[in-house]
Amino acid sequence: MKRAFPIFAILTALLLAYAFYQAIWVAPMERTMGDVQRIFYYHVPSAWTAFLLFFVNLVASVIYLARRNPRADVVALVSAEVGVVFCTVVLVTGPIWARPVWGIWWTWDIRLTTTLVLWLIYVSYLVLRRFSDSSQTPKLAAVLAIFGALDVPLVYFSIWFFRTQHPQPVIGGGGSIDPRMLHVLLINWLAFSCFAIVLCWARYRLERLHREVEEAEGLESLRGVSR
């Protein structure tokens, strides 16, 4: 397992480099948007990865509440942290693209707003984990994760209704995508998912070691007291 990590990390780096090459040089230029459109190959894979990680967080939280398995809690923590990072990438790259294409940085469109609220919920999740220092943090965090997951569909519906009532001219509806672009997009998604796995993996090991050290220190101080 220990040797697998560097191998996987190197492979991911190569894949990321290849995906970068594909996105910048190989993918065809978009006719109306030009080169700005290439941010799409970072924006969309980051979004998919972030949503996937938040889903992993929910599953791990439910497993933790049901089984009280400490590994599930580490998975929940790690997936939320890395998910917030990817979600931040989405929220930053979105406006960079929107400014030249839509002419505005931000609009309260359904996808933008839902992503922002999701980001807020998970930041509050991480804040709770940071501020709560009892051994019960995993339980409270898992409960909050479930509340967040229940909230997301409601957010989606409320904004969906709000924005269909007040249409915004800037929302690009559905449309077809060039198969070559789709190809590059999928390569980038694979690369970003592998990158997310590398980050989660490293963070998972770090967190486990951190907890082991804390446990050992606790035992050590107990031994000191009994002596």
Partner 1 sequence: MSSLRSITVATLTKDIRLEWRSKDALNSMLFFSLLVVVIFSFSFDPNAEESREIAGGLIWVAFLFAAVVALNQTWARELRNQVLDAYRVSPAPATALFLAKALGNFILVSLLEALMAPLFVIFYNLRALGPAWQLIPVALLGTWALVVNGTFFAAMSLRTRSREIMLPLLLFPISIPAVQSMVEATRIILAGDGSARFWIVLLLTYDVVFTTACLGLFETVLQAE
| Footprint of partner 1 (CB under 8 A) | 65, 117, 120-121, 123-124, 127-128, 131-134, 136-137, 139-140, 143-144, 146-148, 150-151, 154-155, 157-159, 161-162, 165
User: Taking the complex as a whole, how short is the minimal distance between the CB of residue 68 and partner 1, in angstroms?
Assistant: 11
User: Taking the complex as a whole, how short is the minimal distance between the CB of residue 72 and partner 1, in angstroms?
Assistant: 15
Q: Which is nearer to partner 1, 21 or 162 (CB)?
A: 162
User: Taking the complex as a whole, how short is the minimal distance between the CB of residue 154 and partner 1, in angstroms?
Assistant: 4
Q: Which is nearer to partner 1, 121 or 185 (CB)?
A: 121
Q: Which is nearer to partner 1, 66 or 104 (CB)?
A: 66
User: Taking the complex as a whole, how short is the minimal distance between the CB of residue 82 and partner 1, in angstroms?
Assistant: 19
Q: Distance between CA 122 and CA 53 in Å, rounded?
A: 11
Four-residue CA torsion sign, 105, 109, 115, 117: positive
CB 122 within 8 A of CB 84: yes
- Spell out the residues 6+ positions from residue 78 whose beta carbon is closer than 8 angstroms to its own: 200, 203, 204, 207
Q: Which is nearer to partner 1, 45 or 138 (CB)?
A: 138
Q: Which is nearer to partner 1, 2 or 166 (CB)?
A: 166
User: Taking the complex as a whole, how short is the minimal distance between the CB of residue 137 and partner 1, in angstroms?
Assistant: 8
